[in-house]
Chain A
Amino acid sequence: MTTPTEAEGKSLADALTAEHSAVFAYGVVAAFSNPTRATQVATAAAAHRARRDGLLDTLTAAGLTAPPAEAGYTLPFPVTDPITAAQLAAQVEADTAVAWRAVVEHGETEDTRTLGVTALTEAAVREATWRVALGTDPVTDPFPGGS
């Protein structure tokens, strides 16, 4: 990937914050989710860690501000059982999708735009998978990452 411009740095830093938060949240999801979903949780958590590490490397290499992980993150609602765990996972994917759509909107280079579209699509697919598990109707958001 080419070095991101300074204007792109802000949206990439926001995406990194969202990925830090997602990695934290998937720890909670892993603790409470249905054991039959262990593989799905592990795959999703690994994908978020990979995005986080990639963003850390990109921002650091470009000499831009890379926000560190907080000690803890406030969850949007209490997670107590497999259903609330799946709801949290779906929410986390929706939140990261918002951050990645912003990366596309503020992207000035083709590489950054491509990264944003790819990460947005992956988050949207994972969100849809969780919504299928939850029986949410419709299972897909028509505008992932959008209002």
Chain B
Amino acid sequence: MPTVSRPPTSGPAVSRRTALRFAAASAFGVASVSLLAGCADDADSDTEVDSLVAQSRLARRDAAGAAATIALLPDRGAALELVRAQRTAHADALDAEIARAAGTYPDGTAPTTSAPPSTTPTAPAPPPGLDQLRADLAESQRSAADSARTLTAYRAGLCASISAACGTYLAVVLP
């Protein structure tokens, strides 16, 4: 059996390279800790509300997609109607939290957005079909789970429940 002869090690116990690696690793560790700690500081920050708005849009998109797909697949109507109703409930709960974050004026009125959403869509989109709807729901599940990792307390819980609900649509309702 051939033996490999190693040169005798000399010099300090911790080489320069190891020391540099260690320094880089600990700098990264400190950076990621401060990143997490920063989450809890500004509860009503714009990024939190942006995240809720994004989740609400995804919920309305999925609800519209499920409603449109009923026309393509009437035999799956009950399952698609369930997804439409519950994704709408998700959007409503998210919108309620967004409105709460916006607060109310002292006279009790709520601030309104400058451009109210148009009730008549310009051109109706074609029904997405079951495959596209499933892909959309999978995207919503991932996105809501990501929000649950970054938002504060109640908002994280809400997004976690929404992510779990999307998981049940994929696993049980529209298998």
Contact = CB atoms under 8 A, between A and B. Distances in A.
B161 A128 contact: no
Interface residues of A, number: 33
Interface of A, secondary structure class, is helix
Given A110-B36, A121-B164, A140 B172 contact: yes
A147 B11 CA distance: 65
Given A113-B148, A140-B86, A124 B153 contact: no
Contact of B90 (A106, A123, A142): A142
A17 to B, nearest CB: 19
Nearest to A124: B164
B168 A125 contact: yes
Interface in A130-147: 132, 138-146
Interface string A34-70: 0000000000000000000000000000000000000
B73 to A, nearest CB: 17
Given A105-B153, A117-B160, A128-B173, 15 more contacts: A104-B160, A106-B153, A110-B36, A114-B149, A123-B164, A125-B164, A125-B168, A125-B172, A140-B86, A140-B173, A143-B93, A144-B161, A145-B157, A145-B164, A146-B161
